């Protein structure tokens, strides 16, 4: 198990850890669940891991759901009715939750009450093993629980839903030092001999996210083991070259994105760029553009994306 199991083991995200420590400690002393939380940030920053830690600290289960996969109120209601005290219901991509399902959540979040509507009531009761004729069971009290929503697009989370979370925690990209520590700790757990220099090089190529750092570490380990050697800097560079990741952490997709933008020499919309390089607009917006924006390689304008002078100066160096 390479994931941290407690806040003390979790590296980075100092502000988020301090907030969660306060909320968990206060909740335990009051004998109450941790208040509902909304976590935002790009993929790979630790939202799911932090939710799992909250559940562990409160001796509850982590129930994971994905907002975009939930389609009907009966499904959501059934899940809520199966909650046990101190469970953590974690909804990823909560910004994609259909509005009718949001409305199911409002009384559950505010009063721990779930009310089944006439629409789909019989089917739901049958699913739960409750006689459909028993209309007195339409309103149900829920046990103390915590809802943790996660989103990569905080601005798309509706105001009514957002206002019902006690705390909004915004996760930030990791610094190199924290990523190096994460890589070194994971290498130790894997019994993989990795120098501090190599751990730092992996961190430098990991785009500010823990998930990418872990993926890079596992790839380097596989490359070294398959090659029958040791994790020298030469082996590390060869591993990244084979995968198409340069010293700036840029992938082939990043470089192709920049190449198209620079050669166009005019603003381009994300739909046009996605079509040109064979990716979905969502992939570009969630996985490619945040990194390029942080690095100062692109800007978003009212007319579309444009390459910066910094990108143009580095183009010959990083685009192959």
**Residues forming the active site:** 47-48, 92, 152, 211
Tokens of 211: 């998930």
CB burial string 185-213: b at 16+ within 10 A, e below: ebbeeeeeebeeebbbbbbbbbbbbbbbb
CA distances from 81 to 33, 45, 139, 211 (A): 17, 30, 11, 33
Of 280, 73, 46, residue with least CA distance to 152: 46
CA 5 distance to own-chain centroid? 17
Q: Cα–Cα distance between 59 and 85 in angstroms, integer? A: 9
Q: Cα–Cα distance between 15 and 171 in angstroms, integer? A: 8
Spell out the alpha helix ranges (H) of 31-158. Answer: 47-57, 73-81, 99-111, 121-128
Q: β-pairing, 298-301 with 304-307?
A: antiparallel
Q: Is the distance from CB of 298 to CB of 250 less than 8 angstroms?
A: no
């Amino acid at each position: 198990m390479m994931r941290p199991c407690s806040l003390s083991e979790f590296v980075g995200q100092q502000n988020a850890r301090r907030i969660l420590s306060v909320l968990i400690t206060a909740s335990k002393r009051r004998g109450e669940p941790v208040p509902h939380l909304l976590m935002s940030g790009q993929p790979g920053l630790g939202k799911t891991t932090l939710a799992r830690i909250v559940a562990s600290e409160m001796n509850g289960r982590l129930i994971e759901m994905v907002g975009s996969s939930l389609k009907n109120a009966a499904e959501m209601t059934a899940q809520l009715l199966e909650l046990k005290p101190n469970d953590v219901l974690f909804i990823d991509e909560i910004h994609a939750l259909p509005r009718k399902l949001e409305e199911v959540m409002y009384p559950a979040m505010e009063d721990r009450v779930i009310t089944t509507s006439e629409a789909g009531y019989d089917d739901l009761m049958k699913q739960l093993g409750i006689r459909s004729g028993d209309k007195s069971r339409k309103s149900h009290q829920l046990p103390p629980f915590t809802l943790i929503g996660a989103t990569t697009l905080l601005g798309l989370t509706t105001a009514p839903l957002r206002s019902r979370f006690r705390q909004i925690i915004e996760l930030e990209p990791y610094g190199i030092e924290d990523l190096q520590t994460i890589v070194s700790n994971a290498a130790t757990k894997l019994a993989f001999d990795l120098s501090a220099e190599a751990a730092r090089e992996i961190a430098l190529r990991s785009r500010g996210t823990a998930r990418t750092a872990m993926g890079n570490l596992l790839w380097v380990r596989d490359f070294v083991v398959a090659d029958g050697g040791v994790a020298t800097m030469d082996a590390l560079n060869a591993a990244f070259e084979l995968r198409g990741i340069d010293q700036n952490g840029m992938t082939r997709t990043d470089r192709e994105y920049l190449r198209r933008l620079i050669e166009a020499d005019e603003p381009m919309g994300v739909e046009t760029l996605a079509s040109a390089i064979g990716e979905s607009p969502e992939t570009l917006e969630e996985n490619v553009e945040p990194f390029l924006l942080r690095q100062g390689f692109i800007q978003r304008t009212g007319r579309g994306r444009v390459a910066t002078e910094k990108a143009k100066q580095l183009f010959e160096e990083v685009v192959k």
